[in-house]
């Protein structure tokens, strides 16, 4: 990221603050929910009894720091075996797209997500943590699905 992008990013945090929320549920669950940019969908999950059946629900807003956080989380919480990726894709960043490309292709020697079309898909986590994620976590692609009931029905299959 260049200096101008960093300044614009910091300016946006002040002018348009976006809460980076996640909610913890059942620590013994193997399911995590990622609602991408859909805050209302996240609130639906966190205000229902389904939170007792999932480990964590949160959003993914960036194709770099956000994905780094997911990789770190699943490496520390190895009970997570499935991440349901749903909600509206993040315009511009395409973080959901990058998460799936990472899972399929990994990173190159510069830790750039292979075949990602996101603007800044560079990670800082180790390749061994990425490999754990690739080999031990299933991603369920419901990108752009915002119907809460449809997603709930999918969760019940796990």
Q: What is the pLDDT of residue 14?
A: 45
Architecture of domain 22-155 in CATH? 3-Layer(aba) Sandwich (3.40)
What confidence score (pLDDT) does residue 30 get?
96
d(CA 4, CA 113): 22
Count CB atoms within 10 A of the CB of residue 70.
23
Q: What are the domain boundaries of the chain?
A: 22-155
pLDDT value, residue 134: 98
Q: Which CA distances in Å does 120 have to 32, 111, 135, 144, 146?
A: 25, 11, 24, 21, 26
Give the pLDDT confidence score for residue 93 in this predicted structure: 85
Rounded average pLDDT per 10-residue block, the chain, 158 residues: 52 45 91 94 91 93 92 96 95 92 97 94 96 98 96 87
């Amino acid at each position: 990221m260049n200096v101008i992008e960093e300044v614009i990013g910091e300016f946006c945090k002040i002018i348009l603050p976006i809460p980076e929320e996640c909610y913890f549920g059942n620590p013994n669950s193997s399911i995590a929910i990622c609602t991408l940019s859909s805050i209302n969908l996240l609130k639906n999950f966190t205000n229902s009894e389904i939170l007792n059946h999932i480990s964590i629900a949160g959003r993914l807003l960036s194709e770099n720091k956000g994905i780094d956080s997911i990789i770190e989380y699943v490496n520390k919480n190895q009970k997570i075996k499935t991440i349901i990726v749903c909600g509206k894709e993040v315009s511009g960043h395409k973080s959901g797209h990058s998460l799936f490309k990472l899972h399929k292709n990994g990173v190159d020697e510069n830790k750039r997500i292979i075949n990602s079309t996101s603007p800044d898909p560079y990670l800082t986590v180790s390749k061994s943590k990425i490999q754990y994620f690739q080999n031990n976590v299933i991603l369920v692609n419901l990108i752009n699905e915002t119907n809460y009931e449809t997603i709930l029905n999918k969760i019940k299959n796990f």
